[in-house]
């Protein structure tokens, strides 16, 4: 296979809300370049990108796939990312290593929550963005309205480089603003183009847009701007360079008009990509840590080799693969590289370039190129692999916080170890999936980006590791505390045969402010109790705090003061004072008007205006307090504080409340006293649980 140099490569990620047509657009591109000889369809399960059996069954993308084609002597690498909200966050690792984002928008639905989300991912990585308005063959497709809303949400930098001529069911023509030609596409889906002159009635509109394009080019550079003012226009080459600059600096977000399904406008988009999309060598320098300091480096073959793993895949027929970008140098099969996080050596046994599940082995990849390696043993998604002599590490990626948590239990006893080994491998592959054993709740907790995300993780656990689990609601980590001072003089005495035990502990507790934890001190004076027993009493108090008193939850936000007591010359010993310490503390606690605290979460809900009423009403029902409402782009953002106990599977409820158009984020805010009636319920449940455990 041909070797591509850095300047000949372009890395492009398809981003966008679910069902906008990313996978179909990738398919049209691959078909147009002869990578495939039929235009695959989502509904038939025949696209190159959605090859996974889960994707074919569900008819949408679940996992990003890697594709490539050659066009006009350039190698175009495409990553087709999923838009479904449960999976969209994995693009956070992908925007980091790309040179251009094509944000696909449904011509009828316009800007959706997923659009905003991926635009922000791209923004955080300073990634150039183009908007692709797709599905213009649909009845009532409205390009102008989408364009207007794009401008409203993302500013004056949004500008069309293509216009649809006849949007709607007969859609077959676009105007290319750069060449000022009408391009008519064949109806057979092959993407064959014939050019036409712009008719008189459209000419002035197109000329004025073309004029504006030259202005964008001129404004990208002081020298060009001066030339433009002097001569009133710019030569072709300056326009090209100026536009490229405007795109790379995110001062121009071009908009295109296509129908992926009918392959209309796609070839022109591909022509423009091959010229105007930056290559890795032109993109902004990459940040990394080298010799403990942060550096910025241009992507080039001249530096020692390093790779960034942006995705791990595993599927039937293709096995387990690590997808990587060559961040510097060039990689050759057989190379030994160091994983900078685990410090383990990894051999690049085989290197492939991909088109969906189809992998082609290559011997060599240059800086900037994308490829896969048979899954590396000690390497997880977002790890850096580096030349052993020059260890470099690319910056960490912050993924969105989880929006759902469930607890699991093994269906069959004895499977626990297999389950946690399987979950660990799945978590290494997918940084948006987390799991841990919570020793306080005594549950294994899985966290993810949505109900379907966790369902698919558990399906994979079952298939790949042959273990079955059941999902249960996670317990709520309530806390116990007190509201006033409480006292106790507690005597522990035991005289059943052998050596006796004796200890008396006089103690009081007092509330402390929220978040203070537990403080223990002694104010002993005189010689009633030997100081050697102070740590014993403290141990007893700590044990009681961990076990919980009211309902089995951790005790917090109080101080316990051991101020006096009694001892026996023979029978007083460490264990006796531990028991008395625990007993005294429990009595103090119950005497001090104990209460339960519950975790309160900050939530942000982003929804289209029309669902505001329903969403706010629902938040009140969940004992939530609304803090504010702000408009965010084309959406409303509601911020509120809601008890965690009321948030179980909130994401799922929100989606059904908003026809899938709403999105939320949640994060622990603080603990608050629980209303009495809810507290009594929790205490009751804990008693029942204790009985059952007995």
Ligand X SMILES: Nc1nc2c(ncn2[C@@H]2O[C@H](COP(=O)(O)OP(=O)(O)OP(=O)(O)O)[C@@H](O)[C@H]2O)c(=O)[nH]1
- For ligand X, the binding residues (CB under 6 A) are 16, 18-24, 41-43, 60-61, 82-84, 104, 134-135, 137-138, 259-261
Q: Which does 378 bind (CB under 5 to 8 A by kind): Mg ion, ligand X, none?
A: none
Q: Which does 21 bind (CB under 5 to 8 A by kind): Mg ion, ligand X, none?
A: ligand X
Nearest distance, CB of residue 242 and ligand X, angstroms: 31
DSSP codes of every residue in 350-418 = -EEEEETTEEEEESEE-TT-EEEEE--TT--TT-EEE-TTS-EEEPP-PPPPPSEEEEEEESSTT-HHH
Q: Exposed (0-12), middle (13-18) or buried (19+): which is 61, by Cβ within 10 Å?
A: buried
Residues 412, 418, 421, 425: is their CA dihedral positive or negative?
A: negative
Q: Which residue's CB comes closest to ligand X? A: 83
Closest to Mg ion by CB, 85 or 362: 85
Structure tokens at 250: 């995110």
Closest to ligand X by CB, 23 or 328: 23
CA distance 131 to 439: 47
Nearest distance, CB of residue 72 and ligand X, angstroms: 23
Closest to Mg ion by CB, 23 or 386: 23
CA distance 90 to 662: 19
Q: What is the dihedral of CA 202, 205, 209, 212, to 10 degrees?
A: 150
Closest to Mg ion by CB, 51 or 276: 51
Containing 577, the helix (H) or strand (E) segment is helix 574-591
- CB contact set of 114 (below 8 Å; sequence gap of 6+): 16, 17, 18, 20, 83, 85, 88, 663
Nearest distance, CB of residue 283 and ligand X, angstroms: 25
Containing 692, the helix (H) or strand (E) segment is helix 676-693
Closest to Mg ion by CB, 23 or 405: 23
Find the binding residues for Mg ion in span 288-307 (CB under 5 A): none
Find the binding residues for Mg ion in span 160-199 (CB under 5 A): none
Q: Which does 20 bind (CB under 5 to 8 A by kind): ligand X, Mg ion, none?
A: ligand X
Region near Mg ion per CB under 5 A, out of 53-61, 114-122, 270-278, 650-658: 53-61
CA distance 248 to 278: 7
Build a one-symbol-per-residue string for 455-494: x at contacts with Mg ion by CB under 5 A, - elsewhere: ----------------------------------------
What Rg value do the Cα atoms of the chain yield, rounded?
Answer: 32
Q: Which does 259 bind (CB under 5 to 8 A by kind): Mg ion, ligand X, none?
A: ligand X
Assess contact for 359 and 353: CB atoms under 8 A: yes
Query: 486: closest CA among 404, 331, 594, 405?
Result: 594
First-last CA distance in the chain: 68
Q: Which does 137 bind (CB under 5 to 8 A by kind): ligand X, Mg ion, none?
A: ligand X
Nearest distance, CB of residue 352 and ligand X, angstroms: 23
Query: 547: closest CA among 678, 686, 684, 694?
Result: 686
Closest to ligand X by CB, 60 or 465: 60
Nearest distance, CB of residue 159 and ligand X, angstroms: 22
Helices (H) and strands (E) in the chain, counts: 16, 37
3-state secondary structure of 664: strand
Closest to ligand X by CB, 19 or 355: 19
Closest to ligand X by CB, 18 or 193: 18
User: Applying CB under 5 A, which of residues 23, 36, 91, 658 lies at the interface with Mg ion?
Assistant: 23
Neighbours of 354 (CB within 10 A): 22
Q: Which does 261 bind (CB under 5 to 8 A by kind): Mg ion, ligand X, none?
A: ligand X
Q: Exposed (0-12), middle (13-18) or buried (19+): which is 186, by Cβ within 10 Å?
A: middle
Neighbours of 73 (CB within 10 A): 9
Structure tokens at 630: 């702000």
Q: Which does 244 bind (CB under 5 to 8 A by kind): ligand X, Mg ion, none?
A: none
Q: Which does 84 bind (CB under 5 to 8 A by kind): ligand X, Mg ion, none?
A: ligand X
Closest to Mg ion by CB, 447 or 449: 449
Closest to Mg ion by CB, 93 or 161: 93
Find the binding residues for Mg ion in span 420-449 (CB under 5 A): none
CA 6 to mean position of chain CA atoms = 29
Nearest distance, CB of residue 680 and ligand X, angstroms: 46
Nearest distance, CB of residue 431 and ligand X, angstroms: 19
Assess contact for 382 and 397: CB atoms under 8 A: yes
- CB contact set of 485 (below 8 Å; sequence gap of 6+): 508, 509, 510, 511, 592
Containing 443, the helix (H) or strand (E) segment is strand 443-448
User: Applying CB under 5 A, which of residues 11, 36, 47, 61 lies at the interface with Mg ion?
Assistant: 61
Region near Mg ion per CB under 5 A, out of 14-22, 483-491, 574-582, 660-668: 14-22
Nearest distance, CB of residue 136 and ligand X, angstroms: 7
Closest to ligand X by CB, 135 or 449: 135
Please provide residue 484's backbone torsions phi and psi, each rounded to the nearest 5 degrees.
-145, 180
Q: Which does 585 bind (CB under 5 to 8 A by kind): ligand X, Mg ion, none?
A: none
Closest to ligand X by CB, 141 or 305: 141
Q: Which does 112 bind (CB under 5 to 8 A by kind): Mg ion, ligand X, none?
A: none
Closest to ligand X by CB, 58 or 341: 58
Nearest distance, CB of residue 664 and Mg ion, angstroms: 23
Nearest distance, CB of residue 52 and Mg ion, angstroms: 11
Query: 69: closest CA among 353, 303, 311?
Result: 353
Closest to Mg ion by CB, 64 or 572: 64
The count of residues interacting with Mg ion (CB under 5 A) is: 3
CA distance 257 to 163: 6
- CB contact set of 255 (below 8 Å; sequence gap of 6+): 130, 131, 132, 133, 147, 150, 158, 159, 160, 161, 162
Q: Which does 284 bind (CB under 5 to 8 A by kind): Mg ion, ligand X, none?
A: none
Nearest distance, CB of residue 305 and ligand X, angstroms: 33
Closest to Mg ion by CB, 477 or 660: 660
Nearest distance, CB of residue 141 and ligand X, angstroms: 9
Assess contact for 63 and 280: CB atoms under 8 A: no
Nearest distance, CB of residue 118 and Mg ion, angstroms: 13
Nearest distance, CB of residue 64 and ligand X, angstroms: 10
Structure tokens at 369: 């190129």
Neighbours of 377 (CB within 10 A): 11
The answer to whether 81 contacts Mg ion (rule: CB under 5 A) is no
Nearest distance, CB of residue 614 and ligand X, angstroms: 25
Residues that bind Mg ion (CB under 5 A): 22-23, 61
């Amino acid at each position: 296979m041909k070797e591509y140099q850095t300047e000949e490569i372009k890395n492009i990620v398809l981003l966008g809300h679910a069902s906008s047509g990313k996978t179909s657009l990738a398919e049209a591109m691959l078909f147009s370049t002869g990578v495939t000889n039929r235009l695959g369809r989502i509904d038939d399960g025949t696209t190159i990108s959605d090859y996974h059996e889960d994707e074919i069954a569900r008819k949408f993308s679940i996992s990003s796939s890697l594709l490539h084609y050659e066009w006009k002597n350039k190698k175009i690498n495409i990553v087709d990312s999923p838009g479904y909200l449960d999976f969209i966050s994995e693009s956070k690792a992908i925007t980091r290593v790309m040179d251009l984002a094509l944000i696909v928008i449904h011509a009828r639905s316009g800007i959706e929550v997923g659009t905003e989300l991926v635009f922000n991912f791209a923004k955080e990585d300073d990634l150039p963005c183009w908007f692709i308005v797709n599905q213009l063959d649909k009845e009532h497709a409205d390009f102008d309205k989408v364009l207007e809303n794009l401008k409203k949400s993302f500013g004056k930098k949004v500008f069309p480089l293509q216009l649809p001529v006849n949007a709607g069911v007969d859609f077959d023509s676009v105007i290319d603003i750069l060449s000022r030609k009408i391009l008519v596409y064949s109806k057979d889906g092959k993407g064959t183009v014939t050019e036409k002159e712009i008719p008189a009635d459209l000419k002035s509109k197109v000329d004025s847009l073309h004029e504006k394009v030259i202005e964008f080019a001129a404004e990208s550079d002081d020298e060009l701007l001066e030339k433009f003012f002097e001569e009133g226009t710019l030569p072709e080459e300056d326009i090209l360079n100026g536009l490229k600059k405007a795109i790379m600096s995110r001062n121009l977000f071009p908009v295109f008009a296509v129908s992926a399904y009918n392959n209309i406008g796609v070839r022109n988009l591909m022509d423009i990509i091959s010229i105007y999309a930056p290559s890795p060598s032109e993109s902004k320098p990459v940040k990394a840590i080298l010799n403990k300091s942060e550096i910025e480096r241009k992507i080039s073959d001249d530096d020692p080799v390093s790779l960034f793993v942006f995705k791990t895949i595993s599927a039937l027929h293709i096995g387990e693969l690590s997808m990587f970008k060559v961040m510097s140098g060039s990689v050759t099969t057989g190379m030994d590289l160091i994983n900078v996080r685990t410090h383990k050596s990894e051999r690049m046994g085989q290197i492939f370039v991909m088109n969906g599940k189809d992998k082609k082995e290559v011997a060599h990849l240059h800086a900037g190129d994308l490829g896969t390696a048979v899954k590396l043993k000690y390497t997880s998604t977002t790890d850096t692999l580096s030349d052993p002599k020059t260890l470099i590490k690319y910056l960490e990626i912050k993924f969105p916080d989880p929006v759902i948590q469930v607890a699991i239990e093994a269906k069959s006893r004895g499977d626990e170890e297999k389950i946690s080994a399987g979950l660990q491998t799945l978590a290494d592959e997918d940084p948006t999936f987390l799991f841990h054993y919570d020793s306080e709740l005594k549950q294994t907790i899985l966290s993810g980006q949505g109900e379907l995300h966790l369902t698919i993780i558990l399906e994979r656990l079952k298939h790949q590791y042959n273990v079955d689990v059941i999902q249960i609601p996670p317990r709520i980590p309530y806390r116990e505390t007190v509201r006033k001072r409480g006292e106790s003089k507690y005597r522990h005495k035991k005289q059943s045969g052998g050596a006796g035990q004796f200890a008396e502990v006089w103690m009081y507790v007092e509330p402390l402010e929220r978040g203070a934890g537990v403080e223990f001190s002694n104010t002993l004076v005189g010689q009633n109790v030997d100081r050697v027993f102070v740590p014993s009493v403290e141990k007893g108090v700590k044990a009681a705090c961990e076990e919980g008193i009211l309902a089995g939850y951790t005790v917090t936000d109080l101080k316990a003061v051991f101020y006096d007591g009694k001892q026996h010359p023979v029978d007083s010993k460490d264990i006796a004072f531990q028991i008395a310490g625990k007993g005294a503390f429990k009595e103090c606690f119950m005497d001090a008007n104990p209460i339960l605290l519950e975790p309160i979460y900050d939530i942000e809900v982003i929804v289209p205006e029309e669902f505001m009423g329903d969403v706010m009403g629902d938040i009140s029902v969940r004992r939530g307090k609304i803090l504010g409402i702000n408009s965010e782009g084309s959406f409303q953002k509601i911020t509120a504080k809601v008890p965690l106990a009321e948030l179980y599977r909130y994401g799922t409820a929100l989606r059904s409340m908003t026809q899938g158009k709403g999105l939320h984020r949640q994060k622990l805010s603080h603990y608050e006293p629980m209303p009495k009636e809810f507290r009594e319920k929790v205490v009751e449940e804990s008693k029942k649980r204790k009985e059952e455990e007995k």
